[in-house]
A = this chain, B = another copy of it.
Amino acid sequence: MWGKRADVIVRTEAPFNAEPPPTLLAANEITPVEAFYARNHGLFPDIAPGQWRLDVGGLVDTPMTLTLDRLTTGFDHHTVVATLACAGNRRAELLRARPIPGKDPWEHGAISTAAWCGVRLADVLDAAGVYRRDGLHVEFLAPDIAAEARPAQAYGSSIPLEKAMSHEVLLAWQMNGQPLPRAHGGPVRAVVPGYIGARSVKWITAVTVRDHPSHNYFQEVDYRILPPDADPDTAAVGDGIPLSRLPLNCDILAPTGGDRIGAGEVVLRGWAMAGDGQGIGRVDVSIDGGHTWRQAQLHTARSKWAWSLWSLSVDVVPGPLSITARAWDDTGMTQPESPASLWNPRGYGNNAYSRVDVRVM
């Protein structure tokens, strides 16, 4: 199913959900295709490129049906380096505070970065004569059936028209210079940089402009931050805060929790990313539980939509070692300290300080 399958941590086989090990993420600003995380709600649809069609409709003057040939020849091509992250990335830390039944315990790896090539969604919507008024939303639909949805339904979601018209949002058919693999949404997927991965709909077959957010289960019910005392099984449609922009966040990728490492100099590595295209101002790292902080070296991000990898060399002595990292964005804002206080019934949006405990031998 994944062809050349990297050394990934498989969470479920069907639907296929898997994350790369953190050290592999740390070693590459652009994640290799075969290691890119997989978050799916249904089985992969099998759409031959020649059979693929995209219906563009709703609040537009000229509804269109595009073939892959027309999509790739009718509009300018653009490449955007963008990090995608699942809203459930780092859920495992929330689980340590309190269980979250029925949700995968993603560790550090439900995040990856690729160079996506395709056309701007804005250009396609302009060609269809999209209505330009406030309060519109663009719905994406795909044919993969999500059994977990109530009722079971094809996967879908939506983004505000304002975001859909921004230059970074693509309909992409290439990933790191290769044709988009079926496992990552081929022939064509949406790529919505700066938003939770759930909005970058794979195997996209319909783009519909509406005067309301999508009624799809994954927009209207799931992918929402419920209050801590809410019951997700009885939550009503529209309860909770719908997720859209990724928050300021960071993580420690090397070493990994539970590692045994040698005393002396060790290079700590990780990533940081600010919300919706903001920059990172600083990454602080503490090896004394937050009493003192040192500033990590920030590597230049490949684009404003990509993570910044960081590293810091520290000297460590034998014994237990707790490493904490936090990012500040370029407006001077930082992250919440503790995953426990971010606990929510579906386990989304953990952007607390990253902490990793290792033993120095």
Minimal Cβ-Cβ distance residue in B for A335: B336
Determine whether the beta carbon of B334 is less than 8 Å from that of A228.
no
- In the bound complex, how far is the Cα of B247 from the Cα of A290, in angstroms? 22
Determine whether the beta carbon of B227 is less than 8 Å from that of A331.
no
User: Which stretch in A62-70, A105-113, A238-246 binds the other chain?
Assistant: A238-246
Q: How close is A195's CB to chain B, nearest CB, in angstroms?
A: 9
Partner of A241, one of B244, B290, B331, B338: B331
Q: How close is A50's CB to chain B, nearest CB, in angstroms?
A: 39
Which residues of B are found within 8 Å of A349, using beta-carbon distances? 332-333
Partner of A331, one of B245, B295, B335, B338: B245
- In the bound complex, how far is the Cα of B249 from the Cα of A333, in angstroms? 10
Query: Which residues of chain A from 193 to 246 have a CB within 8 Å of any chain B CB?
Result: 224-225, 227-229, 241-245
Partner of A228, one of B225, B293, B341, B351: B293
Q: How close is A289's CB to chain B, nearest CB, in angstroms?
A: 11
Determine whether the beta carbon of A275 is less than 8 Å from that of B333.
yes
Which residues of B are found within 8 Å of A348, using beta-carbon distances? 332
Q: Can you give 17 contacting A-B residue pairs, CB < 8 Å?
A: A224-B332, A225-B282, A225-B328, A241-B281, A241-B282, A241-B331, A241-B332, A242-B330, A245-B333, A247-B331, A247-B332, A247-B333, A290-B341, A332-B349, A334-B336, A335-B336, A337-B338
Instruction: Enumerate the 6 nearest inter-chain pairs by beta-carbon distance, A residue then B residue, closest first.
Output: A241-B281, A247-B333, A225-B332, A245-B331, A241-B332, A243-B332
